[in-house]
Amino acid sequence: MDKSKKHIILGVTASIAIYKACELIRRLKECGFTVKVIMTKEAEELIKPVVFASLSGNRVYRAGILDEPDTWEIEHISLAQEADLILIAPATANIIAKLSAGICDDLLTCTVCASKANVLIAPAMNEVMYNNKITQSNIAKLKSCGYKFIAPHKGVLACGKVGVGCLAEPEDIIKELKKYL
């Protein structure tokens, strides 16, 4: 592991905004960061891991914590220890709720729980879901625990309506990320 470079863990969840994660990886690498991607199982339904592996130049870490390991490392612990920052973009209401409740049922949630690194979350979801009292309560709880958020923007949502819920632009995410390194 090259300690001269900052190591970013990019958690990718199943939002239609997943395509922006590709641009995010490219820009993070241009900034000199090492990027390792952890995908949720649901995210793999939207985009193949090979895309993120090609863009990041690193293996993509995938969903299960009890899958057959490639090495004898405990993946969520080793990933957590090497992370200088964990960025979850796009972040669904589901991942926000799981983190808020302390649920560790996949590689991403276990890595976040096991890490001392700053966590930066960029939500992307339907406006009604984002403004839901439970989602907002989960966000407030995570903020009280030191998690940082990049608010979604207003724009055309996957349902075709205009509202708040669009993933922040990659350049805005990187600008915020640099504040916490």
Q: Which residues contact 178 (CB under 8 A, 6 or more apart)?
A: 31
Q: Count CA atoms closer than 13 A to 54's CA, side-chain side.
A: 7
Among 22, 31, 159, 166, the one annotated catalytic:
159
Q: Count CA atoms closer than 13 A to 131's CA, side-chain side.
A: 9
**Residue 22 annotated in active site:** no
DSSP state of 45: G
Decide if 10 contacts 78 (C-beta within 8 A).
no
Known catalytic residues are: 159
